[in-house]
Amino acid sequence: MASEDSHNTVGVADPDPIIGPGHTFETVTDKISSIVLTRPVTPGWVFGLLIAFSALMLLNLVVTLLMIKGVGIWGIRIPTAWGFAIVNFVWWIGIGHAGTLISAILLLLHQKWRTSINRFAEAMTLFAVMCAGMFPLLHMGRPWLFFYLMPYPNPMWMWPQFRSPLVWDVFAVSTYLTVSLLFWYVGLIPDLATLRDRAKPKAAKIIYGMLSMGWRGSAVHWSRYETASLLLAGLATPLVVSVHTVVSFDFTIGIIPGWHTTIFPPYFVAGAIYSGFAMVLTLAIPIRKFYHLEDLVTARHLDIMAKVMLATGLIVAYGYLLEAFLAFYSGDQYEIYMMTNRFHGPYAPLYWMLISCNIIIPQLLWSRRVRRNVGLLFVLSLVVNTGMWLERFVIVVISLSRDFIPSSWGMYYPTRWDWATYIGTFGLFFTLFFLFIRFLPMISIVEVRSLVHETNEEKGHS
């Protein structure tokens, strides 16, 4: 259908298109919906899901053990009373930020290239926030009393203690999760309707039908849909900045050297976007390969994302530089010690690894050749993900392990249950992701179609 009529195809003239040549409305819809509806279950997918699900069961085991025995199964201690749980919390929530940035801010900024990656970036956000959200709950000494952190009328006449940034976290993260979910779901509705219309099995028809909430594609629907999307984008935009700012308050409000610094909010937000884009790349590169989506998620997409990584990486580098500078400039002996301890202390190798992963190695992205080299880009995305995880480790653990009174210093070593919890959340994340790519359109059909339309319009006019 697509091949016979070159009128509707995207211009061959564009040397670096954001959508592959030869796409029409039909081909886009076919290509994306077929992954869900007609493509048989592949052994690769099953194998991937099995691994992810095993890790999820590991999480199940850890959580059970945690509830039975207590947080003592982790390596946390006095003075380092926060460990992997908080590191992972910040890391996962940071990852989520790319999705929101792509779907909300870039929507408002009319960045067309976002269309083909925003759906799964949003899904990634959602799943990452789910993983992140588990940690604050699990790391509590008595998680069954988590509701003490919520303001609710109770006979004790007790409210949360609103000066604590942990309470702000509750609001920030729960708002973030809610808005992300809504945004993602609203965006899905027209595509769900498409699936409903195309699905053959009755069950699928019914399920997609219910999920598409009676979408008929009428002009009124479209009008409402556009308005809702814009409104949600408007709502989500400040969240990109606020959530990680609030998360950074968890540290800045404390008086521990290495935590108590004003640079954290901007540098946390930049770091979040940095790691988020790295994660989008980590996910996009294999998916576009396995599902042959190279013409929807093109080399240009990867290039742009690499550029965003480079830019945010530089902001993060500036943060590190300033953090070190201010520590020495302050003349405060504890701050100075904190920095020298990062440079030379027992955890110094991790600090230098962090600097390599987050600052030195990503400078390769200045080269266009590197940005266009898919394999290298994938490796780089993993490097940045590791680097950002290390950054949180450095902030949380190194700062706590040596603060003010040397008699109380102590090393934190993760136990196998620390690792198991971390790996377990990967299990959750990837299980959800594997299910997502199998049961929902991982690229927005509607938006790519409108992109096809727009590109054709442009071509028509020229």
Partner 1 sequence: MSEDSKLKNSIDLVAARAKLAGAGAPRLWQSLEELSGTPQSQEFREYEFPPIAGKGNDEINRRDVLKLMAASAALTGLSACTKLPTEKIVPYVRPPEEILPGRPLFYATSLFQAGVATGVLVESHTGRPTKIEGNPEHPGSLGSSDVFSQASILNFWDPDRSQSVIFDGRVSTWSDFSAAMGDARTISPKGAGLRILTKTITSPTLGAQIRTLLAQFPAAKWHQYEACGGDSVREGARLAFGRPVTTVYHFDQADVVVSLDADFLTCGAGHVRYARDFASRRDLSAGPSSKLNRLYVAESMPTSTGAVSDHRLPVRSADVDDLARQLAAAAGVAVPPSANASAKIPAAWVGAVGRDLAAHRGSSIVIAGDHQPPFVHALAHAMNAALGNVGKTVVYTESIEVSPVNQLESLRDLVNDLNAGHVDLLVILGGNPVYDAPADFDFATALQKAKLRVHSGLYQDETAELCHWHAPAAHSLESWSDGRAFDGTVGIVQPLIAPLYDNHSAHEVIALFTSDSGKTGHELVRGYWQSQRPEKDKAFEALWETSLHDGLVAGSALPAISVAPHADFVSVGQSTAAGGDPNALEAVFRPDPSIGDGEFSNNSWLQETPKPITRLTWDNAVMIGPATAQQLGVTTGDYVTLTLAGRHLDAGVYIVPGHADNSVTLHLGFGRARGGSVGTGPGFNSYLVRASSAPWIAPGAQIAKTGKKYSFASTQQQYNIDHDGHQVDEESTAAMGQGGEHGRDLVRIATMEEFRKDPSFAKNPEEEDTKNLTIYPGFKYDGYAWGMSIDLNRCIGCNACVVACQSENNIAVVGKDQVERGRAMHWIRIDTYFRGNLDNPEMYYEPLPCMQCENAPCEYVCPVGATTHNAEGLNDMTYNRCVGTRYCSNNCPYKVRRFNFYLFSDYKTPSLYGMRNPNVTVRSRGVMEKCTYCVQRINAAKIRSEEENRLIRDGEIITACQSACPAEAIVFGNINDPNSKVAKLKAQTRDYRLLEDLNTRPRTTYLARVRNPNPEIHD
Contacting partner 1 within 395-414 (CB under 8 A)? 400, 402-410
Each residue 94-113 as x (binds partner 1 by CB under 8 A) or -, in order, gives --------------------
Binding-site size, partner 1 (CB under 8 A):
55
DSSP assignments along 160-182, one per residue: --TTSHHHHHHHHHHHHHHHHHH
Pick between residue 76 and residue 285 the one whose CB is nearest to partner 1: 76
* Of positions 20, 48, 75, 319, contacts partner 1 by CB under 8 A: 75
Rounded to a whole number of angstroms, the minimum distance from the CB of residue 214 to partner 1 is 42
Compute the least distance from the CB of residue 334 to partner 1, in Å. 8
Q: Which residues contact 60 (CB under 8 A, 6 or more apart)?
A: 424
Backbone angles phi, psi at 77, to 5 degrees: -160, -175
CB 74, min distance to partner 1, A? 8
Structure tokens at 444: 């927005």
* Through-space distance between the first and last CA atoms of the chain, rounded to whole angstroms: 25
- Residue 392 as a binder of partner 1 (CB under 8 A): the answer is no
* Interatomic CA distance for residues 122 and 183, integer angstroms: 8
The owner of tokens 């009319």 is: 110
Q: Which of 41, 78, 109, 220 binds partner 1 (CB under 8 A)?
A: 78
133-to-126, 128, 149, 192 alpha-carbon distances in Å: 10, 8, 14, 27
- Choose between 378 and 409: whose C-beta lies nearer to partner 1: 409
**Contact string 136-175 vs partner 1 (x = CB under 8 A):** x--xxxxx-xx-xx--------xxxx-xxxxx--x-----
What long-range pairs does 230-235 form, CB within 8 A, spacing at least 24?
230/107, 230/108, 232/104, 232/179, 232/182, 232/183, 232/186, 233/103, 233/104, 233/105, 233/107, 233/108, 233/183, 234/104, 234/108, 235/179, 235/183
Closer by beta carbon to partner 1, 412 or else 436: 412
Q: Distance between CA 54 and CA 294 in Å, rounded?
A: 30
- What burial class does residue 43 get, using C-beta atoms within 10 Å of its C-beta: 0-12 exposed, 13-18 middle, 19+ buried? exposed
Q: For residues 254 and 334, is the Cβ–Cβ distance under 8 A? A: no
Residue 249 CB contacts under 8 Å (≥ 6 apart), including other chains: 165, 168, 264, 265
Residue type, 117: I
Nearer to partner 1 among residue 31 and residue 402 (C-beta): 402
Minimum CB separation of residue 336 from partner 1 in Å reads: 8
Among 50, 57, 81, 231, which residue interacts with partner 1 (rule: CB under 8 A)?
81
Q: From CA 273, how far away is CA 281, in angstroms rounded?
A: 12
- Tell me the residue length of the chain: 462
Q: Which amino acid is at 12?
A: V
Give the Cβ contact number of residue 262 at 10 Å.
Answer: 10
Residues from 273 through 332 that contact partner 1 (CB under 8 A): none
348: which residues sit within 8 A by CB, 6+ positions away? 342
Measured from the CB atom, the residue of 257 and 441 that comes closer to partner 1 is 257
Q: Which residue type occupies 286?
A: P
The one among 9, 80, 312, 358 contacting partner 1 by CB under 8 A: 80
Smallest gap from Cβ 389 to partner 1, in A, equals 20
Interface region with partner 1, contact rule CB under 8 A, candidates 78-86, 222-230, 269-277, 372-380? 78-86
Distance of closest approach, residue 405 Cβ to partner 1, in angstroms: 6
Contact residue for partner 1 among 29, 59, 82, 392 (CB under 8 A) = 82
* Residue list 245-264, contact with partner 1 (CB under 8 A): 250, 253-256
Smallest gap from Cβ 352 to partner 1, in A, equals: 17
Least CB distance from residue 416 to partner 1, whole Å? 14
DSSP letter assigned to residue 154: -
For partner 1, which stretch binds (CB under 8 A), given 186-194, 286-294, 333-341, 349-357? 333-341
CB 316 within 8 A of CB 274: yes
Whether the upstream peptide bond of residue 286 has omega within 30° of 0, thus cis, is: no
The C-alpha atoms of residue 27 and residue 366 are separated, in whole angstroms, by: 35
Please pick, from the candidates 341, 425, 431, 444, the single residue that binds partner 1 as defined by CB under 8 A. 341
Burial of 454 (0-12, 13-18, 19+ CB in 10 A): middle
Q: How far is the CB of 141 from partner 1 (least distance, A)?
A: 2
Task: State which of residues 76, 104, 269, 388 lies at the interface with partner 1 (CB under 8 A).
Answer: 76
Binding mask 200-239 for partner 1 (x = CB under 8 A): ----------------------------------------
Q: Are 169 and 137 in contact (CB under 8 A)?
A: no
Number of neighbouring beta carbons within 10 Å of residue 414 = 18
User: Which residue's entry shows tokens 């993760």?
Assistant: 414
Looking at beta carbons only, is 240 or 246 nearer to partner 1? Answer: 246
Choosing from 340, 356, 373, 450, the residue that interacts with partner 1 (CB under 8 A) is 340
Q: Kindly tell me which of 2 and 140 has the beta carbon lying closer to partner 1.
A: 140
- Residue (259 or 320) nearer to partner 1, CB: 259
Residues that bind partner 1 (CB under 8 A): 69-72, 75-82, 136, 139-143, 145-146, 148-149, 158-161, 163-167, 170, 250, 253-256, 333, 336-337, 340-341, 344-346, 400, 402-410
